[in-house]
Amino acid sequence: MTKAITARAHTNIALIKYWGKLDADLIIPQNSSLSLTLAPFYTDTTVQFSPELSHDQIKIDGQLLSTAAGQRVHTFLDLVRQRAGLTAFAQVDSTNHVPTAAGLASSASGFAALAAAASKAAGLELSLPELSRLARRGSGSATRSIYGGFVEWQKGHDDLDSQAVPFQEKIDFDIQMIAILLDPRPKKVASRAGMAQVVATSPYYAAWPPTAEQDLIAMKAAILKKDLNLIGQLAEANAMKMHATTLSASPPFTYFEPETLTAIELVQNLRNNGVSCYYTMDAGPNVKVICSAKETPAILAQLQQHFPADHLLVAKPGPGVTYI
């Protein structure tokens, strides 16, 4: 039996979205992306390989997964076993401090923590770039959760150069997010299926990779200038360009729920009243508000008139992957 290793990885929210794959097996994206790792949302995962097991045993939040439900994790563990020259099955115990599959990127923290714990338990001593590339094979957004702060996923061309690099690990200006939890249920269209459908069918998709690359250049300059308003404007516009591709897919779909529009309108109203805040959304109905800590009390006061206080989660920037 190998030693049990526990790793913690935080989730991240993209300011410039990853949307569409060039290679679905290796998870090579069509465009580079940039995210902010968040402190309060994380996954702790413990992995131990044991010759006594007859199959991988995967527990998420205390629930043992069936073989079918755990297929993505099994496939990922096969990759780790193959690299380490191991044949033993693994016991995986994972706890999400993120609402699972609610558009708060639990697959990002989940596969980043799994990559770190499983590789070390298997005896592989991977560098951070190697870990980032390994995490990518589980879920694209997990690539970025290896690092803290602002993180860029450079799309690269192949398995060896598609990886995240820290853009600014220690953030020295006031920026955070407020996640508005509108619907804690698993999303109707998973990000994986949604982006594949868009790439295959939306006539607008061709415009996405070049516009995202331009947005990324502008975003990096805005971060270096510590310009929260510009960061927010760019993130908001980039997210809406991504969501426009779902409406133009065949069949069309959307991640918006009625409450999503309410949240967006509230952010716009706050802004019209001089409070600087911006919204972004991923492959789910939840809205994340980009703002400063200084303006958070005013924003919360407004949002609390429409949403329960315990559905508003304030998130400061968080760190990269750690062993605990």
Write out the binding residues for ligand DP6, residues 172-191 only, by CB under 6 A.
191
Rounded CA-CA distance 195/246 in Å is: 8
Binding range to ligand DP6, per CB under 6 A, among 16-24, 36-44, 84-92, 209-217: 16-24
Residue nearest to ligand DP6 (CB): 140
Question: What letter does residue 54 receive in the DSSP assignment?
Answer: S
Any idea which residue has 């993130």 for tokens?
235
17 binds ligand DP6 (CB under 6 A): yes
For position 33 contacting ligand DP6 by CB under 6 A, the verdict is: yes
Q: Does 162 bind ligand DP6 (CB under 6 A)?
A: no
Q: How far is the CB of 42 from ligand DP6 (least distance, A)?
A: 16
Q: With binding defined as CB under 6 A, does residue 137 bind ligand DP6?
A: no
Q: Is the four-CA dihedral 137, 255, 239, 259 of positive or negative sign?
A: negative
What is the smallest separation between the CB atom of 105 and ligand DP6, expressed in angstroms?
6
| CA–CA gap between residue 156 and residue 16 (Å, rounded) | 16
CB of 261 to ligand DP6, least distance (A): 18
Query: Helices in 179-321 by DSSP H: which ranges?
Result: 191-201, 208-224, 228-247, 258-272, 296-303
Alpha helices (H) in the chain, listed in sequence order:
71-84, 106-121, 128-138, 191-201, 208-224, 228-247, 258-272, 296-303
Listed ranges 17-25, 40-48, 167-175, 304-312: which one lies at the site for ligand DP6 (CB under 6 A): 17-25
107 binds ligand DP6 per the rule CB under 6 A: yes
Residue 214: C-alpha distances to residues 18, 87, 167, 207 (Å): 13, 45, 17, 11
Site residues (vs ligand DP6, CB under 6 A) = 14, 17-19, 27, 33, 105, 107, 139-141, 191-192, 282-283
